[in-house]
Amino acid sequence: MEERIPVLGEKFPEMEVNTTHGRMKLPEAFKGKWFVLFSHPADFTPVCTTEFYAMQKRLQKFKELGAEVIGLSVDQVFAHLKWIEWIKDNLGEEIQFPIIADDTGAVAKRLGMIPAGATATARAVFIVDPEGKIRAIIYYPPEVGRDWDEVLRALKALQTSDAKGVALPHKWPENELIGDRAIVPPAGTVEEIKAREEAQKKGEIECYDWWFCHKKI
């Protein structure tokens, strides 16, 4: 199999995986839904444990956005099962999302998840839309834990962009310049610039300049 990070906009590759919830076919198992697949380096490790605890705490927020969550590492399924049992018994959170047991490393290699010179997966995140297209890819090294609130923000921003035909600014919806407003895609013709000027006069949009306009959504 080809070992590379897929390109944004590509279809998530079809594969059958073994998980803590049984055999699953991806992306078919989540057909018509957004899903977030994330990898972690290893079970029974401190940083990964904090990530799983935090993800379970936020799982309902992902579901409220119509998204499913699935984890992955190159551990065997019995290790996953024992680890999530430990998390429940010691930390009080029951991990409710499936975890892929990629003990052969085939899935990780196919998705380019294993860093150069390593045998375990990096902290990768793939956000996939209801059509099975990869819309966002985020990578962290093993020594740095992720912020699931940022992944939630990215998911919501993608959904908003699709629904409203807008772009979203830094740290949206808490941007320092325009708050929770959305950015109108840049004009590409003289006619579009004139249309922007008219829209601004009508109060439909606000602009710093014709190439930087924003509006309420």
Active-site positions read 48
Whether 112 and 123 have beta carbons less than 8 Å apart is answered as: no
How many Å apart are CA 217 and CA 210, to the nearest integer?
19
Could you list the beta-strand ranges (E) of the chain: 15-19, 22-26, 34-39, 67-73, 99-101, 123-128, 134-140, 182-184, 206-209, 212-215
- Give CB contacts under 8 A, 24+ apart, made by 176-182: 178/214, 181/206, 181/214, 181/215, 181/216, 181/217, 182/214, 182/215, 182/216, 182/217
